[in-house]
Amino acid sequence: GARPLRRAIQRYVEDPLSEELIRGHLHGGDIEVYLDAGQLSYRPAGELEAGRKLA
Instruction: Give the neighbor-by-neighbor strand order of the sheet with 31-36.
Output: 31-36, 39-44, 52-53
pLDDT tens digit sequence for 4-45: 999 999 998 899 888 888 988 877 778 888 888 888 888 888
pLDDT at 53: 59
Q: What is the rounded distance in angstroms from the CA atom of residue 14 to the CA atom of residue 9?
A: 7
Provide the strand spans (E) within the chain: 31-36, 39-44, 52-53
pLDDT confidence of residue 7: 95
Domain ranges of the chain: 2-53
Residue 52 is predicted with a pLDDT of: 61
- Give the number of other CB atoms < 10 A from CB of residue 33: 15
pLDDT at res. 20: 85
- pLDDT for 10 equals 94
